[in-house]
Amino acid sequence: MRKIFYLIFAALLFSIYSCGDSGKDFTDEQPTGKTDFTKRYGIKSAIVEYTITGSQSGTKTLYFDNWGMRQAEYTNSVLEIGNFSKSINILNIVKDDANYIIDLERKTGTKTKNPVKKLVAELQNQKSFGEFGEQILLKAGAMKIGQEEFLDKDCEIYEIKNTGTKMWIWKWIPLKTITKLGGVEINSVAKKIEVNVNVPEEKFTPPDNVTITEVDLDDIENQLRQQSK
């Protein structure tokens, strides 16, 4: 059960930083021009409200500015699988050099390095072409499988098979995400999107009453590698 919860939660977090590594070298992708690593999304700022249904039910709101290089996602939901139930009231902030993941109920959180900046460093060492948002999807192992209109937007549909995830992408923003994994289905569907808006500064600021622990994920990863030898 814990494994299923972890995989599903990881799939949902994809909409924030999508930095999984497919192991694929995509230097042969379409050479549409040199990648601009300062623009994650195709619009400067937005507020996107989602409804979550299925085994997880609730709401989610994505705020971003600076072309997605600064963003915050607020998720308030309940995950129910059989007799297992877990409340998820999470704030995920990506800005500057940091990524904050905060449990708003327990008032605790972690601070790690900004995964988007790490991805930029990796991609800059390759002959990357196309838009940065596309490179993020490709790096995560996503494949384009079609096109469809959603919320009056022309979306491209991408699939990540190993997480059972399909995404309807507009301007590199996920407007609809369906995850089917281990008999569990979770749908995250945008119901409203406001573009090129002023996002309040406090949306990107961790609450004052939260205890935050700094975690070095690179160090943990290195320790796990040493233990597996």
Extents of the domains making up the chain: 2-228
Specify the DSSP element, H or E, that contains 223. Answer: helix 217-228
pLDDT (mean) for 137-143: 91
- Buried b or exposed e, range 106-132, using 16+ CB within 10 angstroms: eeebebbebbbbbbbeebeeeebbbbb
Q: Work out the angle at residue 225's Cα, subtended by the Cα atoms of residues 219 and 226, and round it to the nearest 5 degrees.
A: 90
Beta 108-113 vs 211-214: how paired, if at all? parallel
pLDDT above 80: residue 198? yes
- pTM (2 decimals)? 0.83
Residue 17 clears pLDDT 70, i.e. is over it: no
**Which among 104, 80, 84, 81 has a CA at the least distance from the CA of 92?**
104
pLDDT in tens, 168-191: 999 999 999 999 988 899 999 999
Per-residue pLDDT band at 18 (split at 50, 70, 90): very low
What is the mean pLDDT of the segment spanning 77-99?
Answer: 94
Q: Which of 7-21, 22-36, 65-79, 125-139 has the lowest mean pLDDT?
A: 7-21
Give the model's pLDDT for residue 129. 62
- Give the β-pairing of 46-54 and 211-214: unpaired
* Residue 28: pLDDT over 70: no
Longest dimension (CA), the chain: 52
- Segment 185-214 shows an average pLDDT of 96
In the block, tokens 């990881």 appear at: 10
Residue 219: is its pLDDT beyond 80? no
- pLDDT of the residue at 121: 82
Nearest CA-CA partner of 116 in 74, 71, 157 = 71
Structure tokens at 188: 């995250």
One-letter amino acid at 143 equals M
pLDDT band with cut points at 50, 70 and 90 for residue 109:
very high
Amino acid at position 99, single letter: N
Q: What is the CATH number of domain 2-228?
A: 2.50.20.10
- Residue 92's DSSP bridge partners are 73, 101
